[in-house]
Structure 1
Amino acid sequence: MSDNQNLLAGQRRALILDEVRRRGGARVSELTRLLQVSDMTVRRDLDVLAREGALQKVHGGAVPVSEGLTHEPGFEAKSGLETSAKNDIAAAAAALASPGSAVALSGGTTTFAVARRLLEVPGLTVVTNSVRVADVFHTAAAGPEPAAGGTTVVLTGGVRTPSDALVGPVADAAISSLHFDLLFLGAHGISVEAGLSTPNLAEAETNRHFIRSARRLVVVADHTKWGKTGLSSFASLEEADTLVTDGGLPASARQQLAELVPELIVAPASAG
């Protein structure tokens, strides 16, 4: 039996989405051969991905969505993408956190990966506007192997976005009253011209409050974010103290970033 036949549905859909984006489209027949599953299984997966806004169904297959500046995919649609790169970034980024420090994490799937690594750092006070990030620590605290050294978690209030981040005046007020040693911040897009950007106007404002409250800003973003631009910019590249990315970032982009960001960390790929 092929390994692909044993994939979980989320893993299988991530492979479908990668294939559609990489090739600019894929037919159902091609996906059934690639995954070695039934035609019906592929069609169900395409239905789910289309409902999430991750791709567009067409006759006989699917094509990438035409992403406008305001297009904001949901957390589930993004969580299966570039998982190895995000895990590598998370390992490198979490090493920057000192035991006993106050750490903030914004919403996003890369900061979610960072949160899981931070479970190993004792005595942290964690402030986040991400429901998913907060769940990482709450689940660990309730489990048989709690997070190291008594982590305190503060979840801001606010209005929930498709990325499961809480934004708006309530979140902004909570963040503005606090101070952080370190902020791990994700971004929808990174470019020299637009800096760090997001398709969500309210999230952009909440991110600005995070940045103003942090002593050190660490941007965590995989190579696919390079060259993307969302509706609203919330910081220039020069405002970042550190940018952690993965080895898939082109050499030309590394050179540009190295000239603008004080510290560029290209996370080494994990074994296997």
Structure 2
Amino acid sequence: MLATQRQELILGRVAGAGAVRVADLVAELDVSDMTIRRDIAELARRGLVRRVHGGAVDARQAAHEPGFRAKLSRSEAEKTAIARAALDLIHPGSAIGLSAGTTTHLLAQLIATSTIRPLTVVTNSLPAADTLHRADDPALTVVLTGGTPTPSDALVGPLSTQALRGLHLDMVFLGVHGMDVDAGLTTPNLLEAETDRAMVAAGDQLVVLADHTKWGETGLSRIAELTDVTVLVTDAVPDGVDLPDLDLLLAPTPGA
């Protein structure tokens, strides 16, 4: 098969699934790993795909941000297991940061019904703040940053970022759009990335909550490197991923 034919096939796979893995293409086309990587590099040079660890994604997806409700039902069992595992990391008397996202929202729901008190939660997530406020518990202090809402119901921008820069948090729980060994932790929204970086900087420890579907995804803007992570809470790590020195907390779903 000619290089142009392979590249057309790769583009077709990316267009259909949004992403493609090098290992899958090697098996399908019966060519070497290096051949596929050269094809992907050429397509990336032409701006047709975006290279990520282990494969390629649709170049258009790097800046696409799904809405909060659209993401809520994705990998629900995995996200719930991750949120439950993360709850065990929180101690009474702490001040924690909670970024926007569906998994962090599930963690907020667990915090609201838990006995971990007193507790201060700083968040730029509208759904999380609403959930925590409805607990109506004087021992649970909720601080909502200001800012402009995004499609994922995050408050971002200068007001949100400035509010976070004046705080000190014991632990920050961060949800991400994508996670990659090379690209790090990313989001499609430039302003949300800036706000998330301010929240990360305010915390002594960074806890990332990300299910297995986030691996290999790359958003437009980087929040942090994987080497900045203190604890990674996930349901699975793909084969071949070489993690940096961090604490890995696996939260497999029931029956997995």
Normalised by the size of structure 1, how large is the TM-score? 0.70
Q: Which position in structure 2 is the counterpart of 1:208?
A: 197
- 1:163 corresponds to which letter in structure 2? S
Map 1:190-209 → 2, pairs under 5 A: 190-209=179-198
CA distance in 2, matches of 1:245, 1:184: 13
Residues 78 and 252, structure 2, Cα contact 8 Å, conserved in 1: no
Q: Which position in structure 2 is the counterpart of 1:234?
A: 223
Q: Which position in structure 2 is the counterpart of 1:47?
A: none
Distance apart, 1:218 and its partner CA: 0.1
CA distance in 2, matches of 1:268, 1:226: 16
Aligned match for 1:244, one of 233, 238, 249: 233
My pick for the range that moved more, 98-107 or 116-125, is 116-125
- 1:216 corresponds to which letter in structure 2? Q
Residues 89 and 245, structure 1, Cα contact 8 Å, conserved in 2: yes
Answer yes or no: is 1:268 the counterpart of 2:256.
no
Map 1:40-119 → 2, pairs under 5 A: 67-119=60-112
- 2:187 corresponds to which letter in structure 1? T
CA distance in 1, matches of 2:102, 2:85: 15
How much identity, in percent, do the aligned residues show?
Answer: 50
Q: Which position in structure 2 is the counterpart of 1:150?
A: 139
Answer yes or no: is 1:187 the counterpart of 2:176.
yes
Residues 78 and 235, structure 2, Cα contact 8 Å, conserved in 1: yes
- 1:166 corresponds to which letter in structure 2? L
For structure 2, list consecutive stretches of 5 or more residues without a partner in the other structure. Answer: 1-15, 19-57
Aligned length in residues: 201
Residues 243 and 261, structure 1, Cα contact 8 Å, conserved in 2: no
Answer yes or no: is 1:170 the counterpart of 2:159.
yes
* Partner SS state of residue 215, structure 1: strand
* Partner SS state of residue 62, structure 2: coil
Q: Which position in structure 2 is the counterpart of 1:131?
A: 126
Residues 127 and 156, structure 1, Cα contact 8 Å, conserved in 2: yes
For each residue in 1:212-265, what CA deviation from the matched residue of structure 2 results, as whole angstroms up to 9, or x when unmatched? 100000000000000000001110000010110013x32333xx12xx141111
- 2:240 corresponds to which letter in structure 1? S
Residues 70 and 199, structure 1, Cα contact 8 Å, conserved in 2: yes
